[in-house]
Amino acid sequence: MNDLYIDLSILETEPAEEYHAKAGKYLSSHQLLDFMACPWLYRKKQLGLIQDPRNNDTSAMLIGRAAHVRILEGRDAYESQFAIGGPINPKTGKPYGANTQACREWAEAQGKPVLSHDNVELIEQMASGVAMNDEAVDLLLYGRSEGVVRTTYCGTPCQIRIDWVHPHRGIVDLKTTADLTWFEAETKRRRYHNQLAFYQGVLAQVIGELVPCYLIGVEKIEPYRAGSWRLDEAVLSDCRRENEAAMERMKVCQRMDHWPTGYEQQRVLLL
């Protein structure tokens, strides 16, 4: 029997904008992954010399954020945070085009991000895909979305904003993908294991134990399949050690104000 119990009251609630505004004071998983990829990239973003694409409201980013709200927080939160659809042309009975003046004026009047009719349909398809997967539904049956935790981890002030915390299952992270067939390879390329290991390590500083971690992947194209994965404990352990070693290297870089690219030395190319 699983005797895990996470007190959800330890999770703070705050808007995403407020959370990201504190990035200068607290290390996040994305910042750590930037450092692991290239310390100089991390430093340039930290100094504001490079715009973090995660802060840009591109169409893909907007759809991803909206899908998270729709799937994890429900329809009420989704409809309150986003303007859905657009004005209808009374002559045709169809929506105005996205580039028409009527549509632009309507969008400006909403005071919140606008989702086109096509985007709304896409998000509903993804939500249906998750709802069709019994394991994913079980992981999201109880819990809390977008909970924030701040604490000191490895001597560094850190913050995490977890997609979903199930009180008896653990940490759940929702990812969108183009093709679920290659999702496992994508998790390695994008270092999702390291991201979840960081969440796990930070949360453990507060609750005193390491909890299981899960990924839910859902396709953003037909047939909108969804799947769930439990991350292997041995892999998470290795990733925590890798994360913690990187955090120690970060301290050295900060102390010396030296931020290498990682490609200073000549390498041997093996074909």
Which tens digit of pLDDT belongs to each residue from 142-190? 999 999 999 999 999 999 999 999 999 999 999 999 999 999 999 999 9
- As a whole number, the mean pLDDT across the chain is 93
Residues 76, 82 contacting (CB under 8 angstroms): no
Number of residues written out for the chain: 271
Whether 174 is covered by a domain: the verdict is: yes
CATH assignment of the domain containing 34: 3.90.320.10
User: How far is Cα of residue 100 from the mean position of the Cα atoms in its chain?
Assistant: 33
> What is the reported pLDDT for 1?
41
Quick one: average pLDDT of 198-207? 98
Q: Containing domain of residue 166, as a range?
A: 8-50+129-256
Whether 201 is covered by a domain: the verdict is: yes
Whether 27 is covered by a domain: the verdict is: yes
pLDDT tens-digit readout, 38-72: 999 999 999 999 876 655 556 788 899 999 999 99
Whether 108 is covered by a domain: the verdict is: no
What token pair was written down for 49?
Answer: 């010399």
HEC secondary structure over 68-104: HHHHHHCHHHHHHHCEECCCEECCCCEECCCCCHHHH
Based on the number of CB atoms within 10 Å of its own CB, is 71 exposed (0-12), middle (13-18) or buried (19 or more)?
buried
Rounded distance, CA 231 to CA 29, Å? 17
- Our count of domains for the chain comes to 1
Residue 212 gets the label, from left (phi > 0), alpha (psi -120 to 50) or beta, of beta
Residues 188, 229 contacting (CB under 8 angstroms): no
> What is the reported pLDDT for 113?
86
Q: What percent of the chain has pLDDT over 90?
A: 79
Whether 91 is covered by a domain: the verdict is: no
Give the model's confidence band at 110: pLDDT under 50 very low, under 70 low, under 90 confident, else very high: confident
Residues 243, 197 contacting (CB under 8 angstroms): yes
Whether 152 is covered by a domain: the verdict is: yes
> What is the reported pLDDT for 257?
97
> What is the reported pLDDT for 55?
55
Residue 265 has pLDDT above 90, yes or no: yes
Rounded distance, CA 143 to CA 219, Å? 23
Whether 265 is covered by a domain: the verdict is: no
> What is the reported pLDDT for 52?
67
Quick one: average pLDDT of 92-101? 78
Amino acid at 49: L
